[in-house]
Amino acid sequence: MILVTGGTGFLGSELLKQLTDNGLVVRALRREKSTIPDLIKNIDAIEWFTADINDLSNLEDAFEGISQVYHCAAFVSFNPKHKKKMFHVNIDGTSNIVNLCTDRNCRLVHVSSVAALGDAKKGKKITERDFWEYDSKAHAYGLSKYEGEMEVWRGITEGLNAVIVNPSVIIGKNAGFEGSGAIFKLVKGGFPFYTNGATGLVDVEDVAKAMILLMDGEATGERFIISSSDYQYKDLFTEIANGFSVKPPSKEAKPWMLGIAWRALKFFSLFTSAEPSITKDAAQSSTVHSYYDNSKIIAQTGIAFKPVAQSIKEITQYLK
């Protein structure tokens, strides 16, 4: 039987839909207070199991009869104040999953992130061979995903049958205006600025599809970048604006401007108790040019990625 952690999340719910569409019965983890998304709310082939990946006693019961595990559960934030929780979930929780998969002889597909990859060699794209040089001053999310991935590599050296996927920024209509959907919300609201940076993007449907192909394949002890194409933020914001029929951002936000913005928002959050919309980590990440090589996952699975422009069109039409 198949187990999916993080089943109520953006990626986990899409993965569950695709697995059950393929006629499979799946056990999915959910936390006690989590809400099942409409996308998968009425699917009888999903057996919901209430457990926390940091609660080993409940987690052991969830592994009864399991042979394949998709580990999607994670805590995502660019706010440094969430560092402790991110480390607890993304590292300690992953360690629990790895240990149980090793003990029960389960095959594991672990969802890491491009945030756990190293920097590209000059003039080249980032590949799976670019391992991150440890930096304790790196943003907390990237550090937690790097350390979580190290738990999987540790398991692999102990005989774990596993592959790791490193998705770039995952987009899709069912994110709404949360997570990566916050970019769409920002542009739809008439935000006038863009940053001089670039990143990879991929549709959530393709990430789930690639994970299933890897689970059913023979690769083990390897990592795979899952990214459709790279986008300059200016071009990304312009395409989103065009999809919403609003004016595209036309002013470049310089690094010094971003520095003032995150500091001011952090200051005001002390009085409002609201989460700052821009944090130091997010501001710094938005000015980095990151380009990703997706040739390995294409060669391994034959996947044909949905063009990002098509994804943007679908998302903006859905969110109008």
pLDDT digits (tens, 9 = 90+) for 156-187: 999 999 999 999 999 999 999 888 888 898 88
At 320 the pLDDT is 85
Indicate the CATH number of 2-175+200-230+291-305 among 3.40.50.300, 1.10.760.10, 3.40.50.720, 3.40.50.1820: 3.40.50.720
Model pTM score: 0.90
* Top-confidence residue, 2 or 273: 2
HSE-CB for 121 with a 13 A CA cutoff: 4
For the chain, give every domain's residue range.
2-175+200-230+291-305
Strand partners, 26: 2, 46
At 143 the pLDDT is 86
Strand partners, 231: 199
Q: Give the containing element (helix H, strand E) for 229.
A: strand 229-232
- Cα 44 vs. chain centroid, distance in angstroms? 26
Structure confidence by residue, pLDDT tens digits, 8-60? 999 999 999 999 999 999 999 998 888 999 999 989 999 999 999 999 888 99
Structure confidence by residue, pLDDT tens digits, 290-309? 899 999 999 999 999 999 99
The amino acid at residue 166 is: N
Position 265 confidence tier, pLDDT thresholds 50, 70, 90: very low
Please state, in angstroms and rounded to a whole number, the distance separating the CA atoms of residues 201 and 31. 28
Most confident range (mean pLDDT) of 30-34, 193-197, 285-289 is 30-34
* Pair 39, 62: CB distance under 8 Å: no
Position 267 confidence tier, pLDDT thresholds 50, 70, 90: very low
What integer is the mean pLDDT of 69-79? 87
DSSP letter at 98?
A: H
At 83 the pLDDT is 83
At 116 the pLDDT is 87
At 273 the pLDDT is 59
Q: How many CB atoms lie within 10 A of CB 150?
A: 17
In the sheet that 222-226 helps form, which strands lie side by side, from edge to edge? 46-50, 26-30, 2-5, 68-71, 107-111, 161-167, 222-226
Nearest to 161 by CA among 112, 219, 97, 209: 219
Q: Is the pLDDT of residue 223 over 50?
A: yes
Mean pLDDT of the chain: 88
